[in-house]
Amino acid sequence: MTKVAMIGVGKLGQACAEVMAETYPLVGYDVAPRSPKNFPMVDTMKDAVEYADIIFVAAPTPHDPKYDGRAPTAHLPNKDFDYSIVKGILAEVNKFSNRKQLVVLISTVLPGTTRRELEPLITNARFVYNPYLIAMGTVAWDFTNPEMLMIGTEDGSETGDAKELIDFYTPMMENSPRNVVGTWDECECIKIFYNTFISAKISLVNMIQDVAERQGNINVDVVTNALKDSDQRIMGPRYMKAGMGDGGACHPRDNIALRWMSENLRLGYDLFDSIMEAREVQARNLAERLVRTGLPVVIVGKAYKPHVEYVAGSYSLLVGHYVEKFGVSVYYDDDYTGDKPPEDLGAAAYLLAHDPATTFLGCLDPDPEKQQKDIFPEGSVIIDPWRKCPPINGCDVVHYGNTRFNG
């Protein structure tokens, strides 16, 4: 049976390795202490590499923390990812590997990086580039239910290495994904442009939300529902709900890195910068609506999405940044990050940054007289960019983006 090593047992590597370990014998290695559920950790890189037939490298390719999207980035100089960690790991793996082994890199990199900087470090083993489409908080599910498997080889042919990797994944997949085999460069593009497509889509639907707020007499959901069901020329329904902007550890930083690529390749235009600027202006518009209430601001949901503790790239923090720029105090309420507003704050402007249908909406009966009391102090203004919150006794609920009813 194929033996596996996971080099890098962090937020991505550990969850994926735990799934793999249900099917294959596997060991992990990381420079930091880790406690996986169902596979052992080894003490050295050498031990991990010499154990395995397939060696997965799940190394971070970080951006400068200033570029993660929780604060404005459009004014910062263009910058590529930092590849020093992944390059160091690949060079070390190469010392102990041989031609019978397959090294699989799953880290996100810009197009051209594998061919130029990374694959040349693996001279003793075979090499495949195999990025994942995965979100933090749902790593295991995303791993076994991917939209596609991207497998990059030198010339894009379905070589024995690509076939070996397809066969490796087959027993773990729950949804029979399509297999896309291309060059290293093509798979780099698929991964990072998939992310920027999502960012662009969210910016576009949130632009419609801004139009609704400025024009009036528009419910943004009527517009976006019509567009998402138009499947002849426009893509499918995912990410067609106007609300909060794109966030997380991948999408904003990928667009920022693509700005660097646009400049480095001398494309002569930079859509990626425009996407990030739109994201920031939309956050400022939402902050301005909160500030207009004249109340202190509480953002319900600090993490980049519900039920996780990760704040990298959080759109909530970006909105909070602009609230503070307007000179208004901002607090956060999120059980997963440990944030709570002061108990004696009183009436405030509450932004429902996380979809209330997935958080606290069960506490709110549509009949205000039957609602659980004291969720929001009397006199508060509830700004709901998801347009799902029912009327709340003693509070003003604003369905942001629906000016048919809000005025």
**Residue of 359 and 268 predicted with greater confidence:** 268
**Pair (236, 310) in one structural domain:** yes
Q: Is the pLDDT of residue 131 over 70?
A: yes
Q: Is the pLDDT of residue 67 over 80?
A: no
- Tokens 């997935």 belong to residue: 358
Q: Is residue 223 part of a domain?
A: yes
**Pair (22, 116) in one structural domain:** yes
Provide the residue range defining the domain that includes 257: 196-406
Q: Check which CATH number belongs to the domain holding 266 and give it.
A: 3.40.50.720
Quick one: pLDDT at residue 102?
Answer: 98
**Pair (345, 383) in one structural domain:** yes
The pTM of this model reads 0.78
**Pair (168, 217) in one structural domain:** no
Q: Is the pLDDT of residue 407 over 50?
A: no
Q: Is the pLDDT of residue 194 over 70?
A: yes
**Pair (151, 223) in one structural domain:** no
**Pair (373, 396) in one structural domain:** yes
Q: Is residue 146 part of a domain?
A: yes
**Pair (121, 212) in one structural domain:** no
Q: Is residue 105 part of a domain?
A: yes
Q: Is the pLDDT of residue 64 over 80?
A: no
Q: Is residue 351 part of a domain?
A: yes
Which residue, of 160, 186, 212, is where some domain finishes? 186
Q: Is residue 260 part of a domain?
A: yes
**Pair (204, 330) in one structural domain:** yes
**Pair (176, 213) in one structural domain:** no
Q: Is residue 111 part of a domain?
A: yes
Q: Is the pLDDT of residue 288 over 50?
A: yes
Per residue in 196-228, pLDDT (tens digit) is: 888 888 888 888 889 889 889 999 999 999 998
Percent of the chain surpassing pLDDT 70: 93
The total domain count for the chain is: 2
Q: Is residue 348 part of a domain?
A: yes
Pick the range with the lowest mean pLDDT from 100-109, 204-213, 345-354, 359-368.
359-368
Which residue, of 134, 165, 186, is where some domain finishes? 186
Q: Is the pLDDT of residue 343 over 80?
A: yes
**Residue of 256 and 164 predicted with greater confidence:** 164
Q: Is the pLDDT of residue 368 over 70?
A: no
**Pair (209, 310) in one structural domain:** yes
Return the closest-CA partner of residue 141 out of 152, 131, 132.
132
Q: Is residue 191 part of a domain?
A: no
**Pair (116, 223) in one structural domain:** no
Which residue, of 151, 186, 221, is where some domain finishes? 186
**Pair (174, 207) in one structural domain:** no
Quick one: pLDDT at residue 372?
Answer: 55
Pick the range with the lowest mean pLDDT from 129-133, 236-240, 340-344.
236-240
